[in-house]
Amino acid sequence: MAAVAGEPEVIRDKAAMRAWARRRRAEGKTVALVPTMGFLHDGHLSLVSAAAAAASATSPVAVVVSIYVNPSQFAPTEDLATYPSDLAGDLRKLAATGAVAAVFCPPDLYVRAGAGGSGGAVSCLEEAGCGDGHETWIRVERLEKGLCGSRRPVFFRGVATVVAKLFNIVEPDIAVFGKKDYQQWRVICRMVRDLDFAIDIIGSEIVREADGLAMSSRNVHLSHEEREKIVEQESLVALERIDRPAAICVAAWFGKVRLIDNMEIQTHHPDGGAGI
Ligand SMILES: Nc1ncnc2c1ncn2[C@@H]1O[C@H](COP(=O)(O)OP(=O)(O)OP(=O)(O)O)[C@@H](O)[C@H]1O
Ligand SMILES: CC(C)(CO)[C@@H](O)C(=O)[O-]
Ligand code: BAL
């Protein structure tokens, strides 16, 4: 991993982030973005390594990690309020890699409806986005359907929109996403192609715990029984479809329990009709 002198710069303001990234590019650096929602684990750090590895002799890389729990990808029934976070711990982990130049952790990325544009929620609901608040959404219309999209109605719309916002703020040359969230990775690739973002998207391999469970921030919420059930499901899928690791990670959330729906994987598998 290419080393960066000193601690990462912590940037909260989007104009400051854009200016910082433009300075790095003016210095001849490649800017590589790793978008996350924080509560970092080794899966995230593997994305940092992949980003840092993009450096070449002629163009050193400046790795930016964003930490932002994006409200618009959560439906009202989902777990926005309980999403785990530990910014101080995240900053320590990122500093320890020696590979991160900046951490972008904005308090909010949306224009809010309400008094002076500062109140109100950024909702996943259409009507709450009206008025003087945020109302522009990116839809990747076919790929967002099925799999996770069938259980999380606003998820991919929120992801595509916030990732586009991050791309416009950081203006990276490269962005890295984990194949654990396989459908998300494919949605982002399609958005980048369709909307002509000049960004190379890197899909990074899944990092697992010793028992085979894919690392995931929400794993802290799993009980022992829930965890065992997921490991069992993941290994069943892995055994059946060993040549198709992407299918292993395609997950749906039922409350806080993540289960894999084999039927859906078969129906919507990359080679099986949905064209993911
Ligand atoms: N185990 C992993 N292996 C590879 N990439 C990962 C892994 N876990 C997360 N990522 C990637 O890190 C990026 C940020 O993910 P995020 O911050 O949502 O963490 P997460 O662990 O996926 O959280 P959650 O439990 O909410 O799914 C995404 O591109 C995601 O695919
Ligand atoms: C890509 C992302 C950072 C958008 O909020 C999120 O969905 C995630 O962490 O996978
Ligand atoms: N990595 C997926 C983010 C989410 O479930 O909201």
Is pTM, for the whole model, over 0.95? Answer: no
Confidence band of 123 (pLDDT split at 50, 70, 90): low
CB 32 within 8 A of CB 54: yes
Q: What average pLDDT does this structure show over 116-124?
A: 53
Q: Is 252 helix (H, G, I), strand (E, B) or coil?
A: strand
How far lies 204's CA from each of 32, 53, 137, in Å?
Answer: 13, 12, 26
CB 153 within 8 A of CB 126: no
- For the chain, the maximum distance between any two Cα atoms, rounded to a whole number of angstroms, is 55
What digits encode the pLDDT tens for the residues 201-254?
999 988 888 887 888 898 888 888 878 877 776 665 554 433 333 333 334 333
CB 34 within 8 A of CB 204: no
| 244 alpha carbon – ligand 2 mean position (Å) | 23
β strands within 167-206, DSSP E: 174-178, 200-204
Ligand nearest to the CA of 201: 1
- Partners of 258 in the β-ladder: 253
Q: Does residue 166 line the site of ligand 2, with CB under 6 A?
A: no
The predicted pLDDT at position 148 comes to: 77
Pocket test for ligand 3, best of 181, 186, 258 (most atoms within 8 A of CB): 181
For 9-207, CATH number? 3.40.50.620
The predicted pLDDT at position 272 comes to: 35
The predicted pLDDT at position 255 comes to: 34
Q: Does residue 163 line the site of ligand 2, with CB under 6 A?
A: yes
What digits encode the pLDDT tens for the residues 8-25?
999 999 999 999 999 999
Nearest to 163 by CA among 32, 23, 34, 273: 34
β strands within the chain, DSSP E: 9-11, 30-36, 61-67, 102-104, 174-178, 200-204, 252-254, 257-259
| 25 alpha carbon – ligand 2 mean position (Å) | 24
Q: Does residue 70 line the site of ligand 2, with CB under 6 A?
A: yes
Q: Does residue 63 line the site of ligand 2, with CB under 6 A?
A: no
Confidence band of 103 (pLDDT split at 50, 70, 90): very high
How far lies 181's CA from each of 51, 113, 205, 259, in Å?
Answer: 17, 31, 10, 14
